[in-house]
Structure 1
């Protein structure tokens, strides 16, 4: 669904920026709609009428983040595409504000089903954006047929999110490149070939 423009779009942007601040500072449980309205410079009734609660605000925030994320890379090789993806994830998580926001969103998803669904939807959208990198790599013969794009990109980002959540290790370009290289090696070895594909070949 296309979002309306003009004042409505500006109000949404202001409110979602305020929600980011609230999440970072107070977590999902600490979000107060009145305070969100004050931060955003809009009427409290506007926030209550359109969103109604913290979980709905977080869901809309994640929808906005998915819609405005950078498009996938097209480098011509899976190695280049995975490195581009890893570096994008790494830059995002290493950013002081964005890293804190993702920690807050992940924490919210642990305690609220609506937030968890919104987070799952966010990542499904981002994986769908990048999945053609893998399907094109299969067509080029870089990785085996049946390689699961979702598993490949989970393998790329998981080490970087581990660093974010645990605070162990720096999230830098070297870490991103290691994550991409490890996922690429596993993909080439057939680690991410789906069970269905494996069964078909053995029959």
Structure 2
């Protein structure tokens, strides 16, 4: 479930439409991270991005529509999966990227806000599920390759494995408040790898 966002230095398509979208989504992400979904106002976002509010209302219509597009953009900008040659190392790379994302003040707050919004808004929830579907599909070959190499049993469910890697880290973000650090990431990866080898995730 890797989703480290490659905002700095990202290569985006050119053109005015792309520049408008980039500016609006950057401001929307800042507002979400700083104040949460309830304070996401399209007119304020338009002003912050230097864009006419009519343009923002016409393209995104509602705060939920803006969040949905932000999640699409985040999926598009996410870093590709690791391919280290071993299951444990691939899952460790995955866990470390998740931990890096969630421990980042801006990105961690942004995910808290989006997850909270998804709990009460169907459009946001669908966009959030699509975001994770995209990331799980990107990383599924790590598990599929491990099956081919004989590291994992035939029938292992990649989605279940990758969810097991990230779940403890999200628990720390959303529930316990325990540190989300490299040690936590590495333990999560080791636990998921051991469970995978044991056949826990064979469907």
Match of 1:67 in 2: 76
In angstroms, what is the RMSD of aligned CA positions?
Answer: 1.1
Q: 2:39 & 2:110 partners in 1: Cα distance?
A: 14
Q: Which residue number in structure 1 is paired with residue 48 of structure 2?
A: 39
After TM superposition, give the deviation of residue 169 of structure 1 in Å.
1.3
Whole-angstrom CA distance in 1 between matches of 2:159 and 2:189:
14
1:143 aligns with 2:169: no
Look up the match of 2:170.
161
| 2:121 equivalent in structure 1 | 112
User: Aligned to 1:95, which of 97, 104, 107?
Assistant: 104
3-state SS of paired residue (1:131): helix
Question: 1:105, 1:157 → 2: CA distance?
Answer: 17
Contact between 2:32 and 2:110, CA under 8 Å: does it hold in 1?
A: yes
Query: Structure 1 segments of 4 or more deviating over 4 A?
Result: none
Distance 1:163 1:35, change over 3 A: same
Q: How many residues align?
A: 192
The equivalent of 1:198 in structure 2 is none
Equivalent pair of 2:33/2:107 in contact (CA under 8 Å)? no
- 1:14 is aligned, of 1, 6, 23, to 23
2: CA distance, partners of 1:49 / 1:4: 21
Superposed, 1:71-82 pairs within 5 Å as 71-82=80-91
Do the aligned partners of residues 4 and 80 (structure 1) sit closer, same or farther apart at CA in structure 2, a change above 3 Å counting? closer
Residue 21 of structure 1: how far off its partner (Å)? 1.9
- Structure 1: runs of 5+ lacking an equivalent: 195-203
Task: Report the 3-state secondary structure (helix = DSSP H, G, I; strand = E; otherwise coil) of the residue aligned with 2:119.
Answer: helix
Larger gyration radius, structure 1 or structure 2: 1
**Separation in 2, partners of 1:21, 1:139:** 43
CA drift of 1:167 comes to 4.4
**Contact 2:153–2:197, Cα closer than 8 Å, also in 1:** yes
Q: Which deviates the most, 76-85 or 14-23?
A: 14-23
Query: Is there any run of 5+ residues in structure 2 with no aligned partner, and where?
Result: 1-11
2:151 aligned counterpart, secondary structure: coil
Q: Confirm or deny: 8 A CA contact 2:42 2:63 kept in the other structure.
A: yes
Aligned mates of 1:166, 1:94 — CA distance in 2: 14
Equivalent position to 2:141, from 128, 132, 142: 132
